[in-house]
Structure 1
């Protein structure tokens, strides 16, 4: 996949807007009891659904591959299953492709948080102020998260998801595509590069996505996922959450998703400032790194904001991003900020 496709700048006044890139640390900072990080996501899901029939084949595979004390990285496990390297292992009662759908279902059910729980968070008012300012300015958000935290704020601003997501969608029950139309200049663009809990695909489309439909559900997404004791692939419902772990392969071959990444690249190229909040740029996310390296990002103020882990050093994290964003020719000004995401947003002039 190549991102080097010239696009017309999306802002009426290029280089005056800001773009924010959000990762799992952003959602964790908002409510860590509701939105776990990648390394704990699977374990928490297993604890949340302890019934013996809940994701039984997935649990059997995990118990065989990981020790009880070991972190289970969702992205690594998804890679194992999607590439199907263990399909002939003795004892597997299901194909790994089906267990993979169970894993997607498990993660979706962990992150499926009721709107009332999001709105009752003490940080919700902070997000309202921040997003309102971004919406007025026509700034953009690029996220690698699947959750629906910001949607609860945007809906109150009468934000239109059929334009704001910058996606071509189908609506369940409507046999025609709703083509994307660029939102008004003062409306926020919210690009979810790894999919979203309220986007769906039909089950059979998961392994041949290039020409398949992506559906948008304006309804409560939990209506589709009540029977988690059986797993998504054995449910009576026909739609499954379209979330994409950061994997190389056919998951990115859908034309609408590819265009979404092209749009993201154009936004980054035409932004005045770039804020990267709660995103660690994991080694497994090769596609995201390629997009950032391939974009013509120069003469930008770039802030990387996240709380350092116990075994991390500021210089190591800073150098990881500098290898991508900084050279003598592009003149980018890069600053790493060791700070919690919500604490940083609180301090922005935009919400003061």
Structure 2
């Protein structure tokens, strides 16, 4: 059994976006966003982010966002700013801080959706054609490039392919997932996915709370839509390929929302501006948000119950059982302690030594890590010093004997 680990370098291989852009890295995220048409769309909310830059950073928003700011550093600062305001006396400041925090989730997801909204990625498609049903694909990426490739070239489906049971799938309308035995590779997304949805959270005083009645580990999955769906303020945007959508995902229609405490009244309001056109779609249901673990240094996996705990456990089991582990475009950054621990714990539980193949344009430090920290000898280690692309020899990559 093979385990294929995909990092940011794998997503960077996608060269067929109608936008002409490739997936961003941490320091070119905002320059990428500025080049997309959605950056000029009044429905794409950035006022909370601009407010943060002006009033907390005391900087000109455009100059700041064009300065190659690292999105992980910015997101971490925004989260730290949110945590400064707690309790009943911090309501207004906390609302402002929380607004910038949630808007960045939507902006981040929208950039990925815009770029991946084209033909199926050729490198991912070639990989999907060669992997076997019992193989496992693990990724830290939020995009759906591998999802689409698997769906196109194998029997993989969103119903059972992610390693959990979705509550509902938006497939031209909300439908129940089809329960069947998995007959395709499993795709484990350790940081969530732009097409996974949860209820839009609130954070009135301290904790960040989901507004759904269902358990926090409940996931709704978006797949496809050819006609308008119910979403926030009816702001449906059409023209998207499968597993991609406009800025607003569909509202959740099969959950009534969390019950409010006795003595309180729930008020739903929205400020209208004359320069923002009204949406023409329906707006009923529970407002949703992409279910991703944002790129912050201290990642909060526990907000979603046991969802990510289970996914990381499944990934560890895959590493423990795989005879061949293929690393594509993942550099094992020192700050990502959880991913390092994942491999260390898995290798400590093994009774044998797997073959490891690394594909990366700068593989030296990664190879050294596997030898010195994970105990993989030279005899079980192969290195392809190249970018992942449609020219990659997938047959040789997956077969350690070639």
**Cα root mean square deviation, aligned:** 4.1
1: distance between equivalents of 2:159 and 2:360?
Answer: 31
Report the CA distance shift for 1:220/1:94 in structure 2 as closer, same or farther (over 3 A). same
| 1:200 and 2:197 aligned | yes
Length, aligned pairs only = 321
How far apart, CA to CA, are the structure 2 residues paired with 1:290 and 1:181?
Answer: 33
CA separation of 1:147/1:38 partners in 2, compared to 1, >3 Å: closer, same or farther? same
Query: Which residue in the other structure is 2:182 paired with?
Result: 183
Displacement of 1:56 in angstroms is 2.1
Kindly provide the CA deviation profile for residues 72-126 of structure 1, in whole angstroms up to 9, marking residues without a partner as x. 222222222234367569x97953222111111111111114776133xxx52x5
Structure 1 residues 18-57: aligned runs within 5 Å:
18-31=2-15, 33-48=21-36, 49-50=39-40, 54-57=45-48
Distance 1:230 1:162, change over 3 A: closer
Deviation per CA, 1:222-270, whole angstroms, max 9, x where unpaired?
Answer: 9658579998997956111101135535334521221111011000100
Q: 1:76 aligns with which of 60, 73, 76?
A: 73
1-structure distance, mates of 2:151, 2:79: 34
**Any unmatched runs of 5+ in structure 1?**
1-16, 309-313
SS at match of 1:168: coil
Contact 1:22/1:141 (CA < 8 Å) preserved in 2? yes
Higher relative contact order (CA 8 A, sep 6+): 1
Q: Which residue of 1 aligns with 2:274?
A: none
Residue of 324, 340, 346 corresponding to 2:393: 346
> What SS does structure 1 have at the residue aligned with 2:13?
helix
Indicate if the aligned counterparts of 2:328 and 2:388 stay in contact, CA closer than 8 A.
yes
1: CA distance between counterparts of 2:117 and 2:291? 23
- Tell whether 2:259 aligns with 1:260: no
**Residue aligning to 2:222:** 217
- CA distance change for structure 1 residues 216 and 333 in 2, over 3 Å: closer, same or farther? same
Q: TM (normalized to structure 2)?
A: 0.66
Separation of aligned partners in 1, 2:178 and 2:79: 30
Is the 8 Å Cα contact of residues 191 and 292 (structure 2) preserved in structure 1?
yes
Match of 2:375 in 1: 326
How far did 1:146 drift?
Answer: 1.0
Q: Secondary structure at the match of 1:342?
A: coil
Aligned-partner SS, 1:307: coil
Higher helix share: 1
Cα 1:171/1:293, change in 2 over 3 Å: same
Counterpart among 130, 144, 151 of residue 155 in structure 1: 151
Residue 214 of structure 1: CA displacement?
A: 1.6
Separation (CA, whole Å) in 2 of partners of 1:160 and 1:172 = 11
Which residue pairs with 2:113 in the alignment? Answer: 112
How far apart are 1:208 and its partner, in Å? 4.1
Residue 250 of structure 1 corresponds to 300
- Structure exhibiting the larger radius of gyration computed from Cα positions: 2
CA gap of 1:149–1:231, structure 2 versus 1, over 3 A, is: closer
